[in-house]
Amino acid sequence: MSLPNRAALERHLPILQWSRGYTRDTLTSDVVAAVIVTIMLIPQSLAYALLAGLPAEMGLYASILPLVAYAIFGTSRALAVGPVAVISLMTAAAIANLGITDPAQYAAAAITLAFLSGAILTVMGVFRLGFLANFLSHPVIAGFITASGILIATSQLKHILGIEAQGHTLPELVTSLWAHLPETNLYTLAIGVAATAFLFWVRKGFKPLLLKTGMKPRLADILAKAGPVLAVAVTTLVVFGFGLGERGVDIVGTVPQGLPPLTAPRLDLDLIAQLFVPALMISIIGFVESVSVAQTLAAKKRQRIVPDQELVGLGTSNIAASITGGYPVTGGFARSVVNFDAGAETPAAGAYTAVGILVAALLLTPLLFFLPTATLAATIIVAVLSLVDFSILRHAWGYSRVDFAAVSAT
Protein backbone atom coordinates (compact mmCIF):
# COMPACT_ATOMS: atom_id res chain seq x y z
CA MET A 1 0.00 0.00 0.00
CA SER A 2 1.48 3.35 -1.04
CA LEU A 3 1.72 6.23 1.38
CA PRO A 4 -0.33 9.37 0.56
CA ASN A 5 1.66 12.20 -0.99
CA ARG A 6 1.79 15.67 0.53
CA ALA A 7 -0.85 17.07 -1.83
CA ALA A 8 -3.31 14.38 -0.70
CA LEU A 9 -2.55 15.06 2.95
CA GLU A 10 -3.00 18.81 2.48
CA ARG A 11 -6.57 18.23 1.35
CA HIS A 12 -7.36 16.59 4.69
CA LEU A 13 -4.86 18.40 6.93
CA PRO A 14 -4.90 22.01 5.66
CA ILE A 15 -2.40 23.09 8.29
CA LEU A 16 0.27 21.35 6.19
CA GLN A 17 -0.56 23.71 3.32
CA TRP A 18 -0.29 26.79 5.52
CA SER A 19 2.99 25.56 7.05
CA ARG A 20 4.85 26.06 3.79
CA GLY A 21 6.88 29.25 3.94
CA TYR A 22 6.24 29.70 7.67
CA THR A 23 8.69 32.44 8.70
CA ARG A 24 9.68 34.27 11.86
CA ASP A 25 7.46 37.20 10.85
CA THR A 26 4.52 34.84 10.36
CA LEU A 27 5.18 33.29 13.76
CA THR A 28 5.28 36.73 15.40
CA SER A 29 1.99 37.75 13.77
CA ASP A 30 0.28 34.53 14.85
CA VAL A 31 1.54 34.81 18.44
CA VAL A 32 0.44 38.44 18.76
CA ALA A 33 -2.99 37.56 17.38
CA ALA A 34 -3.20 34.62 19.80
CA VAL A 35 -2.40 36.86 22.79
CA ILE A 36 -5.14 39.32 21.83
CA VAL A 37 -7.75 36.60 21.20
CA THR A 38 -6.82 34.80 24.44
CA ILE A 39 -7.39 37.99 26.43
CA MET A 40 -10.79 38.36 24.77
CA LEU A 41 -11.76 34.69 24.93
CA ILE A 42 -11.27 34.03 28.65
CA PRO A 43 -14.15 36.18 29.96
CA GLN A 44 -16.31 35.29 26.94
CA SER A 45 -15.83 31.55 27.48
CA LEU A 46 -16.80 31.82 31.14
CA ALA A 47 -19.84 33.95 30.30
CA TYR A 48 -21.12 31.76 27.49
CA ALA A 49 -20.87 28.62 29.63
CA LEU A 50 -23.08 30.27 32.24
CA LEU A 51 -25.48 31.29 29.45
CA ALA A 52 -25.71 27.62 28.48
CA GLY A 53 -26.52 26.77 32.10
CA LEU A 54 -23.18 25.03 32.58
CA PRO A 55 -20.29 25.47 35.05
CA ALA A 56 -18.00 28.34 34.02
CA GLU A 57 -14.98 26.07 33.57
CA MET A 58 -16.70 24.19 30.74
CA GLY A 59 -16.39 27.37 28.67
CA LEU A 60 -12.63 27.27 29.12
CA TYR A 61 -12.47 23.56 28.33
CA ALA A 62 -14.44 24.18 25.11
CA SER A 63 -11.82 26.74 24.07
CA ILE A 64 -8.70 24.56 24.19
CA LEU A 65 -8.64 21.30 22.20
CA PRO A 66 -11.33 22.46 19.70
CA LEU A 67 -9.00 25.28 18.63
CA VAL A 68 -6.23 22.77 17.99
CA ALA A 69 -8.57 20.47 16.04
CA TYR A 70 -9.70 23.32 13.81
CA ALA A 71 -6.12 24.46 13.26
CA ILE A 72 -5.37 21.00 11.86
CA PHE A 73 -8.51 20.35 9.81
CA GLY A 74 -10.00 23.80 9.06
CA THR A 75 -9.29 25.92 5.99
CA SER A 76 -9.69 29.47 7.34
CA ARG A 77 -6.58 31.31 8.49
CA ALA A 78 -8.51 33.62 10.81
CA LEU A 79 -11.54 31.72 12.12
CA ALA A 80 -11.46 31.38 15.91
CA VAL A 81 -13.50 28.43 17.18
CA GLY A 82 -15.08 28.27 20.62
CA PRO A 83 -18.29 28.87 22.57
CA VAL A 84 -20.60 31.49 21.02
CA ALA A 85 -23.77 33.13 22.30
CA VAL A 86 -26.31 31.68 19.87
CA ILE A 87 -25.04 28.10 20.18
CA SER A 88 -24.90 28.47 23.97
CA LEU A 89 -28.54 29.58 23.99
CA MET A 90 -29.51 26.65 21.74
CA THR A 91 -27.61 24.28 24.05
CA ALA A 92 -29.51 25.57 27.08
CA ALA A 93 -32.84 25.24 25.25
CA ALA A 94 -32.06 21.70 24.05
CA ILE A 95 -31.12 20.41 27.50
CA ALA A 96 -33.96 22.28 29.22
CA ASN A 97 -36.41 20.19 27.20
CA LEU A 98 -34.97 17.06 28.82
CA GLY A 99 -36.12 18.14 32.27
CA ILE A 100 -32.72 17.40 33.84
CA THR A 101 -32.12 18.92 37.29
CA ASP A 102 -28.90 17.16 38.35
CA PRO A 103 -25.90 19.36 37.38
CA ALA A 104 -23.70 16.34 36.54
CA GLN A 105 -26.33 14.90 34.19
CA TYR A 106 -26.88 18.35 32.67
CA ALA A 107 -23.16 18.63 31.90
CA ALA A 108 -23.12 15.07 30.52
CA ALA A 109 -26.00 15.96 28.19
CA ALA A 110 -24.07 19.01 26.93
CA ILE A 111 -21.03 16.82 26.25
CA THR A 112 -23.22 14.34 24.36
CA LEU A 113 -24.76 17.21 22.38
CA ALA A 114 -21.26 18.34 21.34
CA PHE A 115 -20.39 14.82 20.23
CA LEU A 116 -23.58 14.45 18.18
CA SER A 117 -23.06 17.82 16.54
CA GLY A 118 -19.45 16.92 15.76
CA ALA A 119 -20.45 13.56 14.29
CA ILE A 120 -23.14 15.16 12.11
CA LEU A 121 -20.78 17.84 10.80
CA THR A 122 -17.98 15.36 10.13
CA VAL A 123 -20.27 12.99 8.23
CA MET A 124 -21.60 15.89 6.18
CA GLY A 125 -18.03 16.87 5.36
CA VAL A 126 -17.00 13.36 4.39
CA PHE A 127 -19.98 13.12 2.03
CA ARG A 128 -19.23 16.61 0.64
CA LEU A 129 -22.53 18.19 1.66
CA GLY A 130 -21.11 21.68 2.14
CA PHE A 131 -23.04 22.82 -0.93
CA LEU A 132 -26.28 22.52 1.08
CA ALA A 133 -25.40 25.79 2.80
CA ASN A 134 -26.14 27.52 -0.51
CA PHE A 135 -29.80 26.50 -0.21
CA LEU A 136 -30.30 28.01 3.24
CA SER A 137 -32.03 31.37 3.36
CA HIS A 138 -29.48 33.88 4.59
CA PRO A 139 -32.18 36.48 5.48
CA VAL A 140 -33.82 33.85 7.69
CA ILE A 141 -30.48 33.00 9.33
CA ALA A 142 -29.81 36.72 9.86
CA GLY A 143 -33.27 37.10 11.38
CA PHE A 144 -32.66 34.11 13.63
CA ILE A 145 -29.36 35.53 14.89
CA THR A 146 -30.88 38.98 15.48
CA ALA A 147 -33.81 37.48 17.39
CA SER A 148 -31.42 35.30 19.40
CA GLY A 149 -29.33 38.36 20.26
CA ILE A 150 -32.37 40.17 21.64
CA LEU A 151 -33.47 37.10 23.61
CA ILE A 152 -29.99 36.49 25.02
CA ALA A 153 -29.50 40.12 26.08
CA THR A 154 -32.89 40.12 27.80
CA SER A 155 -32.13 36.87 29.60
CA GLN A 156 -29.00 38.43 31.10
CA LEU A 157 -30.80 41.41 32.64
CA LYS A 158 -31.64 39.32 35.70
CA HIS A 159 -27.90 39.08 36.47
CA ILE A 160 -27.48 42.83 35.97
CA LEU A 161 -30.35 43.49 38.39
CA GLY A 162 -29.46 40.70 40.82
CA ILE A 163 -32.93 39.13 40.74
CA GLU A 164 -34.57 35.83 39.83
CA ALA A 165 -36.36 35.60 36.49
CA GLN A 166 -37.63 32.67 34.44
CA GLY A 167 -38.86 32.14 30.92
CA HIS A 168 -37.72 30.93 27.51
CA THR A 169 -39.59 33.46 25.37
CA LEU A 170 -39.30 37.24 25.29
CA PRO A 171 -42.80 37.88 26.76
CA GLU A 172 -42.11 35.38 29.56
CA LEU A 173 -38.75 36.95 30.38
CA VAL A 174 -40.04 40.54 30.35
CA THR A 175 -43.04 39.61 32.52
CA SER A 176 -40.83 37.80 35.03
CA LEU A 177 -38.28 40.61 35.13
CA TRP A 178 -41.03 43.16 35.78
CA ALA A 179 -42.54 41.03 38.55
CA HIS A 180 -39.19 40.68 40.36
CA LEU A 181 -37.96 44.24 39.71
CA PRO A 182 -38.63 45.42 43.32
CA GLU A 183 -36.12 42.79 44.50
CA THR A 184 -33.22 44.48 42.63
CA ASN A 185 -29.91 44.34 44.49
CA LEU A 186 -28.45 47.84 44.25
CA TYR A 187 -24.85 46.65 44.63
CA THR A 188 -25.30 44.18 41.77
CA LEU A 189 -27.05 46.83 39.68
CA ALA A 190 -24.18 49.28 40.17
CA ILE A 191 -21.61 46.66 39.11
CA GLY A 192 -23.67 45.48 36.14
CA VAL A 193 -24.47 48.93 34.77
CA ALA A 194 -20.90 50.17 35.25
CA ALA A 195 -19.42 47.09 33.56
CA THR A 196 -21.86 47.31 30.63
CA ALA A 197 -21.24 51.01 30.10
CA PHE A 198 -17.48 50.50 30.29
CA LEU A 199 -17.52 47.64 27.78
CA PHE A 200 -19.61 49.64 25.32
CA TRP A 201 -17.21 52.58 25.66
CA VAL A 202 -14.11 50.40 25.35
CA ARG A 203 -15.23 49.19 21.91
CA LYS A 204 -15.07 52.65 20.39
CA GLY A 205 -13.42 55.09 22.77
CA PHE A 206 -10.51 53.36 24.49
CA LYS A 207 -8.19 52.89 21.51
CA PRO A 208 -8.42 56.55 20.32
CA LEU A 209 -7.72 57.64 23.88
CA LEU A 210 -4.62 55.46 24.05
CA LEU A 211 -3.42 56.71 20.65
CA LYS A 212 -3.67 60.31 21.87
CA THR A 213 -1.15 59.46 24.59
CA GLY A 214 1.38 58.54 21.88
CA MET A 215 1.03 54.80 22.28
CA LYS A 216 1.86 52.66 19.24
CA PRO A 217 -1.23 51.42 17.34
CA ARG A 218 -0.52 47.72 17.86
CA LEU A 219 -0.13 48.07 21.64
CA ALA A 220 -3.18 50.33 21.81
CA ASP A 221 -5.18 47.72 19.92
CA ILE A 222 -4.10 44.96 22.32
CA LEU A 223 -5.03 47.03 25.38
CA ALA A 224 -8.37 48.00 23.85
CA LYS A 225 -9.22 44.35 23.21
CA ALA A 226 -8.31 43.65 26.84
CA GLY A 227 -11.29 45.72 27.99
CA PRO A 228 -13.33 42.72 29.18
CA VAL A 229 -10.36 41.42 31.19
CA LEU A 230 -9.98 44.84 32.82
CA ALA A 231 -13.69 44.84 33.70
CA VAL A 232 -13.33 41.36 35.19
CA ALA A 233 -10.26 42.35 37.24
CA VAL A 234 -11.71 45.60 38.62
CA THR A 235 -15.15 44.25 39.54
CA THR A 236 -13.61 41.15 41.12
CA LEU A 237 -11.37 43.33 43.29
CA VAL A 238 -14.33 45.54 44.23
CA VAL A 239 -16.43 42.55 45.31
CA PHE A 240 -13.51 41.09 47.28
CA GLY A 241 -12.41 44.38 48.84
CA PHE A 242 -15.86 45.50 50.00
CA GLY A 243 -17.21 42.06 50.86
CA LEU A 244 -20.11 42.44 48.44
CA GLY A 245 -20.55 38.69 48.19
CA GLU A 246 -22.06 38.90 51.68
CA ARG A 247 -24.43 41.66 50.54
CA GLY A 248 -26.26 39.66 47.93
CA VAL A 249 -23.93 40.05 44.94
CA ASP A 250 -23.84 36.74 43.08
CA ILE A 251 -20.30 35.52 42.37
CA VAL A 252 -18.86 32.74 40.21
CA GLY A 253 -17.34 30.88 43.18
CA THR A 254 -14.89 28.02 42.85
CA VAL A 255 -13.67 27.29 39.34
CA PRO A 256 -11.71 24.00 39.20
CA GLN A 257 -8.02 24.45 38.47
CA GLY A 258 -6.16 22.11 36.15
CA LEU A 259 -6.16 20.42 32.77
CA PRO A 260 -9.45 19.75 30.97
CA PRO A 261 -10.78 16.34 32.06
CA LEU A 262 -11.08 13.43 29.67
CA THR A 263 -14.79 12.82 29.20
CA ALA A 264 -17.00 10.65 27.04
CA PRO A 265 -20.50 11.24 25.65
CA ARG A 266 -23.39 9.23 27.07
CA LEU A 267 -24.23 6.79 24.30
CA ASP A 268 -27.72 6.22 25.62
CA LEU A 269 -30.15 5.62 22.74
CA ASP A 270 -33.00 7.46 24.43
CA LEU A 271 -30.82 10.50 25.15
CA ILE A 272 -29.39 10.45 21.62
CA ALA A 273 -32.90 10.31 20.15
CA GLN A 274 -33.94 13.33 22.23
CA LEU A 275 -30.84 15.36 21.35
CA PHE A 276 -30.46 14.44 17.67
CA VAL A 277 -32.74 17.14 16.23
CA PRO A 278 -31.29 19.91 18.46
CA ALA A 279 -27.79 18.69 17.51
CA LEU A 280 -28.73 18.86 13.83
CA MET A 281 -30.03 22.43 14.24
CA ILE A 282 -26.93 23.45 16.19
CA SER A 283 -24.76 21.92 13.45
CA ILE A 284 -26.54 23.80 10.66
CA ILE A 285 -26.69 27.16 12.42
CA GLY A 286 -23.10 26.82 13.61
CA PHE A 287 -21.84 25.87 10.16
CA VAL A 288 -23.68 28.69 8.40
CA GLU A 289 -22.49 31.29 10.91
CA SER A 290 -18.94 29.95 10.84
CA VAL A 291 -18.54 29.59 7.08
CA SER A 292 -20.09 33.02 6.49
CA VAL A 293 -17.51 34.64 8.76
CA ALA A 294 -14.67 32.56 7.27
CA GLN A 295 -15.62 33.45 3.68
CA THR A 296 -15.97 37.14 4.50
CA LEU A 297 -12.52 37.32 6.09
CA ALA A 298 -10.89 35.14 3.42
CA ALA A 299 -12.23 37.37 0.64
CA LYS A 300 -10.41 40.37 2.13
CA LYS A 301 -7.07 38.66 1.47
CA ARG A 302 -8.12 36.75 -1.65
CA GLN A 303 -7.93 33.46 0.17
CA ARG A 304 -10.15 30.42 -0.35
CA ILE A 305 -12.44 28.53 1.98
CA VAL A 306 -13.44 24.92 1.27
CA PRO A 307 -16.96 24.37 2.72
CA ASP A 308 -16.67 20.57 2.77
CA GLN A 309 -13.39 20.74 4.69
CA GLU A 310 -14.92 23.39 7.00
CA LEU A 311 -17.56 20.83 7.93
CA VAL A 312 -14.79 18.41 8.91
CA GLY A 313 -12.91 21.14 10.78
CA LEU A 314 -15.98 22.14 12.82
CA GLY A 315 -16.97 18.50 13.29
CA THR A 316 -13.63 17.48 14.75
CA SER A 317 -13.66 20.61 16.92
CA ASN A 318 -16.97 19.58 18.47
CA ILE A 319 -15.79 16.01 18.96
CA ALA A 320 -12.66 17.44 20.63
CA ALA A 321 -14.92 19.50 22.91
CA SER A 322 -16.91 16.40 23.85
CA ILE A 323 -13.85 14.44 24.99
CA THR A 324 -12.41 17.30 27.07
CA GLY A 325 -15.41 18.40 29.14
CA GLY A 326 -16.72 21.02 26.71
CA TYR A 327 -19.97 21.70 24.89
CA PRO A 328 -20.92 22.63 21.27
CA VAL A 329 -18.65 25.19 19.58
CA THR A 330 -18.41 27.01 16.28
CA GLY A 331 -16.53 29.89 14.67
CA GLY A 332 -17.29 33.12 16.52
CA PHE A 333 -17.83 36.35 14.60
CA ALA A 334 -16.33 38.80 17.09
CA ARG A 335 -13.22 36.83 18.02
CA SER A 336 -12.56 35.84 14.39
CA VAL A 337 -12.62 39.49 13.34
CA VAL A 338 -10.27 40.31 16.21
CA ASN A 339 -7.99 37.45 15.15
CA PHE A 340 -8.00 38.74 11.57
CA ASP A 341 -7.39 42.37 12.56
CA ALA A 342 -4.59 41.31 14.92
CA GLY A 343 -2.70 39.86 11.97
CA ALA A 344 -3.22 36.09 12.19
CA GLU A 345 -1.49 34.56 9.17
CA THR A 346 -2.21 30.82 9.60
CA PRO A 347 -4.51 28.52 11.61
CA ALA A 348 -1.56 28.02 13.96
CA ALA A 349 -2.71 31.23 15.69
CA GLY A 350 -5.64 29.18 16.99
CA ALA A 351 -3.29 26.56 18.42
CA TYR A 352 -1.32 29.29 20.20
CA THR A 353 -4.59 30.68 21.58
CA ALA A 354 -5.37 27.20 22.94
CA VAL A 355 -2.06 27.27 24.81
CA GLY A 356 -3.00 30.63 26.34
CA ILE A 357 -6.40 29.34 27.50
CA LEU A 358 -4.72 26.22 28.88
CA VAL A 359 -2.33 28.35 30.96
CA ALA A 360 -5.33 30.29 32.28
CA ALA A 361 -7.10 27.04 33.24
CA LEU A 362 -3.98 25.83 35.03
CA LEU A 363 -2.97 29.00 36.86
CA LEU A 364 -5.62 31.73 36.90
CA THR A 365 -8.92 30.10 37.89
CA PRO A 366 -8.49 30.69 41.68
CA LEU A 367 -8.51 34.44 40.92
CA LEU A 368 -12.06 34.14 39.57
CA PHE A 369 -13.76 33.16 42.85
CA PHE A 370 -15.10 36.66 43.56
CA LEU A 371 -15.94 37.46 39.94
CA PRO A 372 -19.52 38.83 39.90
CA THR A 373 -21.89 37.17 37.44
CA ALA A 374 -23.14 40.67 36.61
CA THR A 375 -19.82 41.33 34.86
CA LEU A 376 -20.14 38.16 32.80
CA ALA A 377 -23.70 39.14 31.94
CA ALA A 378 -22.42 42.54 30.79
CA THR A 379 -19.86 40.78 28.59
CA ILE A 380 -22.62 38.71 26.97
CA ILE A 381 -24.95 41.69 26.46
CA VAL A 382 -22.30 43.80 24.76
CA ALA A 383 -21.20 40.88 22.56
CA VAL A 384 -24.67 39.78 21.40
CA LEU A 385 -26.05 43.25 20.74
CA SER A 386 -23.39 43.60 18.04
CA LEU A 387 -25.18 40.72 16.28
CA VAL A 388 -28.54 42.50 16.29
CA ASP A 389 -29.13 43.93 12.82
CA PHE A 390 -32.55 45.42 12.08
CA SER A 391 -31.27 46.73 8.75
CA ILE A 392 -31.90 43.24 7.37
CA LEU A 393 -35.62 44.11 7.44
CA ARG A 394 -35.07 47.17 5.26
CA HIS A 395 -32.80 45.32 2.86
CA ALA A 396 -35.20 42.38 2.61
CA TRP A 397 -38.13 44.74 1.93
CA GLY A 398 -36.24 46.36 -0.91
CA TYR A 399 -35.14 43.04 -2.38
CA SER A 400 -38.04 40.65 -1.95
CA ARG A 401 -41.38 40.80 -0.10
CA VAL A 402 -41.15 37.03 0.44
CA ASP A 403 -37.73 37.40 2.13
CA PHE A 404 -39.13 40.27 4.23
CA ALA A 405 -41.99 38.07 5.40
CA ALA A 406 -39.55 35.23 6.24
CA VAL A 407 -37.22 37.53 8.19
CA SER A 408 -40.09 39.14 10.08
CA ALA A 409 -41.60 35.77 11.00
CA THR A 410 -38.23 34.45 12.14
**Mean pLDDT across 257-267:** 90
How large a percentage of the chain has pLDDT more than 90?
38
What mean pLDDT, rounded, does the chain reach?
85
pLDDT at 8 over 60: no
Distance CA 173, CA 162 (A): 14
| Domain of 331, in residue numbers | 23-409
Question: In this structure, is residue 13 part of a structural domain?
Answer: no
Packed helices 170-180 and 138-155: angle between N→C axes, nearest 10 degrees: 10
216 assigned to some structural domain: yes
In whole angstroms, give the CA distance from residue 404 to residue 410: 10
Between the ranges 265-269, 326-330, 362-366, where is the mean pLDDT highest? Answer: 326-330
At residue 188 the predicted structure's pLDDT band, cuts being 50, 70 and 90, is very high
Residue 152 has pLDDT above 90, yes or no: no
Q: What distance in Å separates the CA atoms of residue 189 and residue 211, rounded to the nearest whole number?
A: 32
Domain-embedded: residue 277: yes
- What is the predicted pLDDT for the residue at 273? 94
The angle subtended at Cα 330 by Cα 233 and Cα 122, nearest 5°, is 150
Look at residue 53 and tell me whether its pLDDT is greater than 70: yes
Is pLDDT larger for residue 253 or for residue 54?
A: 54
* Rounded mean pLDDT, 268-297: 90
Least confident of 151-165, 236-250, 255-269, 286-300: 286-300
Give the pLDDT of residue 19. 61
Q: Tell which wins on pLDDT, 275 or 338.
A: 275
Confidence of residue 77 (pLDDT cuts 50, 70, 90): confident
Contact between residue 178 and residue 198 where contact means Cβ atoms under 8 Å apart: no
Contacting residues for 39 by C-beta, under 8 A, at least 6 apart = 222, 225, 226, 228, 229
Q: What are the residues whose beta carbons fall under 8 Å from the beta carbon of 277, sequence distance 6 or more?
A: none
* Weakest mean pLDDT among 134-143, 254-263, 307-316: 134-143
Indicate whether 320 pLDDT > 50.
yes
pLDDT of residue 21: 58
Which pLDDT does position 317 carry in this prediction?
96
16 within some domain: no
- Higher-confidence position of 237 and 382: 237
pLDDT in tens, 352-368: 889 999 998 888 888 88
Report which of residues 42 and 400 the model is more confident about. 42
The amino acid at 113: L
Per-position b or e across 245-276, b if 16+ CB within 10 A of its CB: beeebbbbeebbeeebeebebeeeeebbebbe
Whether the pLDDT of residue 2 is over 60: the answer is: no
Domains contained in the chain, number: 1
Q: Is residue 386 part of a domain?
A: yes
Window from 106-110, 161-165, 273-277, 278-282 with minimum mean pLDDT: 161-165
Domain-located, residue 11 = no
Specify if 107 maps to a domain: yes
- Count Cβ atoms within 10 A of the Cβ of residue 151 and give its class: 0-12 exposed, 13-18 middle, 19 or more buried: buried
Position with higher pLDDT, 189 vs 12: 189
Which range among 129-143, 226-240, 301-315 shows the weakest confidence by mean pLDDT? 129-143
Q: Are strands 330-331 and 81-82 parallel, antiparallel or unpaired?
A: antiparallel
> Does 127 score more than 90 pLDDT?
yes
Whether residue 243 lies inside any domain: the answer is: yes
Which residues in 277-287 are b (16+ Cβ under 10 Å) and which e?
ebbeebbbbbb
Instruction: Identify the pLDDT of residue 345.
Output: 76
**pLDDT confidence of residue 382:** 84
Tell me, what's the pLDDT at 4?
60
Determine the pLDDT at residue 1: 47
Question: What mean pLDDT do residues 84-110 have?
Answer: 91
Residue 186, sorted as left (phi over 0), alpha (psi -120 to 50) or beta, turns out to be alpha
